[in-house]
Amino acid sequence: MKLYWFILLLSITMSGCIPQAPAVRNDHPVHSVWRGAVLNDSSTLTDVLTYYKTMSSLPQSAIEVERKLAEAALARGGAMAHLRLALLYMLPADKVRDPERALAQLKALAGSKLTARPAFAAFVKLLRHDCARQKNMHLKNTILRRRLRQAEREHREVALKLQKNKEVAAALRRQIQQLKDIERIMNSR
């Protein structure tokens, strides 16, 4: 009996540490790479937050698999697929991070059963706000990068002018020295 509990505990522990491979079946729902159940219209907000937390801790390859599974679920229909894709596009570690696509997915949720639930409606509103903030920050970063490049160009131009001025000043010092030498020679005669 103790062996049974040990094996059960070990299997639960292992399933919590290693992401399971997705099970794709033609006539059954697609399971995501995360260890929970498939997100659907009856999922709770806690399930969604757990999903996001799990996705943000996975490697890029698992995120890409999950994105493909979410896109496949979206092709079959369902509001939760839009939410899954929006969350995946908002992951900080994802190389495909795209607040624009996330906003598009959130806009597609308007009027769904999902947004009729108060907790989800508030959550979607927060996600929209976060996406808009990320978009605004991206725009500000783009502007700042342009200004930085412009300042670097101006700095290079000023450095070139300074170098030219140093060369001209050195040439003038040499000419002054030559004139002083000529004056000294003339005064010594």
Domain extents for the chain? 19-134, 154-189
Q: Which helix (H) or strand (E) holds 188?
A: helix 118-188
Closest residue by Cα to residue 79 from 42, 25, 53: 42
DSSP result, 39-69: P-TT--HHHHHHHHHHHHHS-HHHHHHHHHH
The pLDDT of residue 39: 67
Whether the CB-CB separation of 39 and 51 falls below 8 Å is answered with yes
For tokens 């997100």, name the residue: 39
Q: How does DSSP classify residue 25?
A: -
The pLDDT of residue 36: 55
pLDDT in tens, the chain (189 residues): 444 444 444 444 444 443 343 443 433 344 455 555 566 666 777 888 888 888 888 888 888 888 888 888 888 877 778 888 888 888 876 677 777 787 788 778 777 777 777 777 777 777 778 878 888 888 999 999 999 999 999 999 999 999 999 999 999 999 999 999 999 999 887
The pLDDT of residue 4: 44
For tokens 């160009």, name the residue: 153
